């Protein structure tokens, strides 16, 4: 199986200690296309950038700086691997510095991070910090937005990875903004969506901030337990969550629901 997740806006650019041997680091598979996107962003003025991304001037300045400092030739001395770069709510439960080499390589084989700038990232892909959400309406020569820019490329890349796995299942832990870049009808495997809900009165509801954190906890669970198939994910109980077969059977065919409270 492959777990897919969304990136985070909060990112870091350096660590105090080396993460692992550099021979295990990889380059983003669509790096050349990422360079094209960054070049398009570099053409925008600060005002245009703020309007495009609907952000304040202060945030625009820091984003503009990241664009100008984009590393076109990533190495272990000028970039960090993706799993060590992303922070924020969805990544608060991930502890990559504590994972041993076997766990990191397991993550490399079974986790994919969808990205507006990079398309798709493996955990050990070297990357530059950036800010570009998948829903951004960035126009390029042949596309009106990032969904058109990436087209079938991400789906095809996932299909290539699924072909080498015992169970061709994509476990969807990404937000709708990111997961819809994958064309489900062209996916050569099953798409299983995980939903986390909180008890509110007599009902269960999805609370975005809690869902983000729960997704991170499930990814941590997959990495530390080195899971290769979706079945054992039903044993996930971090954060007080429990798999609910009764609710899952009432939902969409390929959706598993976990609740707490």
Instruction: Determine contact, residues 33/199, Cβ cutoff 8 Å.
Output: no
The encoded tokens of residue 40 equal 């398009």
Distance, CA of 89 to CA of 110 (rounded, Å): 21
- 172 SS3 class: strand
pTM score above 0.85: yes
Counting Cα atoms < 13 Å in the Cβ hemisphere of 153 gives 19
Q: What is the pLDDT of residue 20?
A: 64
Count of beta carbons in the 10 Å neighbourhood of residue 97: 12
In Å, how far from its chain's centre is CA 100? 21
Give the DSSP H/E element, type plus range, for residue 111. Answer: strand 111-115
Q: Which residues of the chain have pLDDT under 50?
A: none
Q: What is the pLDDT of residue 249?
A: 72
Phi, psi of 81 (to 5 degrees): -65, 155
Instruction: Determine contact, residues 29/108, Cβ cutoff 8 Å.
Output: no
Q: What is the pLDDT of residue 13?
A: 81
Q: What is the pLDDT of residue 151?
A: 97
Q: What is the pLDDT of residue 145?
A: 97
Q: What is the pLDDT of residue 173?
A: 98
């Amino acid at each position: 199986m492959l777990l897919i997740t969304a990136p985070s806006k909060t990112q870091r650019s350096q660590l105090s200690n080396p993460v692992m041997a550099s021979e295990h680091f990889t380059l983003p598979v669509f790096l050349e296309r990422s360079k094209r996107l960054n070049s398009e962003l570099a053409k925008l003025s600060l005002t245009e950038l703020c309007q495009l991304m609907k952000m304040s001037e202060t945030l625009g300045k820091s984003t503009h700086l990241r664009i100008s400092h984009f590393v076109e030739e990533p190495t272990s001395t000028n970039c960090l691997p993706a799993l060590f770069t992303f922070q924020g709510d969805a990544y608060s439960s991930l502890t990559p510095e504590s994972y041993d080499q076997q766990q990191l390589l397991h993550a490399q084989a079974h986790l994919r991070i969808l990205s507006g700038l990079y398309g798709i990232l493996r955990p050990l892909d070297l990357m530059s910090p950036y800010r570009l959400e998948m829903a951004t309406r960035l126009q390029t020569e042949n596309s009106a937005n990032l969904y058109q820019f990436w087209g079938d490329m991400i789906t095809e890349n996932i299909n290539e990875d699924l072909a080498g796995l015992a169970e061709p299942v994509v476990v969807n832990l990404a937000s709708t903004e990111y997961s819809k870049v994958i064309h489900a009808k062209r996916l050569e495997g099953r798409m299983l969506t995980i939903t986390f809900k909180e008890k509110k009165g007599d009902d269960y509801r999805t609370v975005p901030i809690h869902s983000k954190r729960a997704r991170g906890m499930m990814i941590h669970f997959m990495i530390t337990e080195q899971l290769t198939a979706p079945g054992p994910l039903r044993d996930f109980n971090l954060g007080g969550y429990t798999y609910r077969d009764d609710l899952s059977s009432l939902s969409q065919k390929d959706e598993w629901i976990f609740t707490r409270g």
